[in-house]
Structure 1
Amino acid sequence: MLGLKKLVYASVIGFAALSASAIQADECNVLTATGNSEYPPYLWRANDGTKALLGANRLIFDELARRMKVEIQLQDVGSWARAQDMLKTGRIDLMAGAFYTVPRIQYMDYVYPAFLDTTSVVWTKSGATVDYSQRDDLKKYSGVTVINNSFGQEFDEYAKKELELSYVASLKQAFMMVNRGRAEYALYEKNPGLAYAELLGVAAELNVLEPAISSEGLYLTVSHLSKCNTGKLRGQLAKTVQEMIADGFMAKALQQGLKDWAAFPHK
């Protein structure tokens, strides 16, 4: 009798585990994703009231979904800080583009290799006298950047210790502070910054200083708290990303993102 009870108990446990696996497999045919929606040509908001996200990263995620035979819902959840919080709390499965930092690996898994690269630069008001040829030169000036934005682990640590930085919710606010003289420089990625300066109509009023402060890879990441975060999923993502890099899709997506942004109605 005892043996029969054990057998029944084991069968119940086994059935429950299989049911849970089946439910998870079914749920994970649909993945949610988000990213920095002020990040052209990689990602930006449509202006038709749909809250759709456009850009190179949108093309990349659509192709990932097609090749992996899953649905990926790319969502605009608001600011870059909120997007990161949504991933941190498991309300979103995937992040469409993040630099590698130690704080972020506490709540997201990185999929290797990076799918694109980007450089971050110093932005100043045209005509401003900011003497800059290396990062230490920034110590004597007041700067601004976007909340929770990263420039790579090494520069983030340097900036925290050495630079006088204010943090604002959006790139628009950062550029306006520089343009109005409330900050002497801004730190942000070059391509997205150039694209957004055009959108705001301030491209002629801002300068990009060289050299770049950092050059970092953009990674696809998976929330630690996503119910879909398994070794199998991460392996599939890594394999597909590598294939898309090898066959030139990533480079083509970036070029298409640049073209789409140039044609986008900015007003």
Structure 2
Amino acid sequence: MRLHTQIICCLSAVISLNTSIALGQDVPSSLCKSLTASGNSEYPPFLWRDSSNSTALHGVNRLIIDELSRRINIPIKLIHVGPWSRTQSEVKSGRVDLMAGAFYTNERADYMDYFTPVMLHTTSVVWQSRDKPFPFNEKEDLLGKWGVTVINNSFGQDFDQYAQQNLNILAVASLSQALRMLATDRVDYVLYEKNPAHAYAAMLGLSDLIVPVSPYISREGLYLTMSKKSPCNLDSVKHKIAIALQDMKKEGFTGQAALDGMQEWDVRTRVGITVN
């Protein structure tokens, strides 16, 4: 309900902006000369780094951000700024303008504006030890067991609320740490998005030790967001971004970017990537 209200508010802002333009009022889009963006760098094929020392981000979301930058005619610098938890803090403070991929939660909506349509959809699953599986058909099957995920990770508002009230879930700094904990029987399960965890399990040589199970726990939209404290959080800029995202979706650019980004990741994994 809250997300629907925010979308309505965004649409109202666009209508208001169009009215201002029609009346000849000055719209200060020129105040925003450039934008910074970041995201979860342990998120292949959506976002990833060549090595642990690199700040450059690659992947599906990179292709979307680069095209968005071209369409709105504002440079967007997409870089790694730290672990996922720090990235969220940087956006919350306004030191980073855009989040290139985030699920919706009420807490995040307090400090970020969400753009529609969503860039992509992704599924989150339970990962288990291949040698020590347990029956899983619904979230209640996780009661009494110990899980792990990455700090400040979300699996959608509904599951997050249930987990906070009922489940034992540890939070660690990196996905690689979480997967290693499962592989060494330090926890019963890992919660994470299926594709990124699958990619990291392969890089870490853990594919024979851990497996994702069905059904998935959530399927969420991956949104582009803007910090409410960003100096570029202007109606004129947000209007340009919203229109560009809509056009990219209609024209099929976003879907093609997903295919191209996945192919890029497949090629890169054959070369090899270093992870911590």
TM-score when scaled to structure 1?
Answer: 0.89
Q: Which residue of the partner structure matches residue 151 of structure 1?
A: 155
Q: State how 1:1-267 maps to structure 2 within 5 Å.
A: 25-26=30-31, 28-47=32-51, 49-264=53-268, 265-267=271-273
**Which blocks of at least 5 consecutive residues in structure 1 are unaligned?**
1-20
Q: Secondary structure at the match of 2:104?
A: coil
Q: Secondary structure at the match of 2:65?
A: helix
**1:193, CA displacement in angstroms?**
1.0
CA–CA separation in structure 1 for the residues paired with 2:266 and 2:201: 12
Aligned residues: percent identity? Answer: 48
CA–CA separation in structure 2 for the residues paired with 1:119 and 1:89: 28
CA–CA separation in structure 2 for the residues paired with 1:203 and 1:262: 16
**1:33, CA displacement in angstroms?**
0.3
Q: Secondary structure at the match of 2:70?
A: helix
Deviates more, 1:232-241 or 1:33-42: 232-241
Q: Secondary structure at the match of 2:118?
A: strand
**1:50, CA displacement in angstroms?**
4.2
Query: Which one-letter code corresponds to 2:135 in the other structure?
Result: D
CA–CA separation in structure 1 for the residues paired with 2:205 and 2:254: 29
Query: By percentage of residues, which structure has more strand?
Result: 1
Runs of 4+ with deviation above 4 angstroms: none
CA–CA separation in structure 1 for the residues paired with 2:204 and 2:74: 36
Report the RMSD for the aligned CA atoms in angstroms: 1.4
- In 2 relative to 1, CA 48–35 (structure 1 residues): closer, same or farther, beyond 3 Å? closer
Q: Is the 8 A contact 1:195 1:261 kept in 2?
A: no
Q: Secondary structure at the match of 2:124?
A: strand
- In 2 relative to 1, CA 242–126 (structure 1 residues): closer, same or farther, beyond 3 Å? same
- In 2 relative to 1, CA 205–48 (structure 1 residues): closer, same or farther, beyond 3 Å? closer
Q: Which residue of the partner structure matches residue 4 of structure 1?
A: none
Query: Which one-letter code corresponds to 1:193 in the other structure?
Result: A
Number of equivalenced pairs? 245
TM-score when scaled to structure 2?
Answer: 0.86
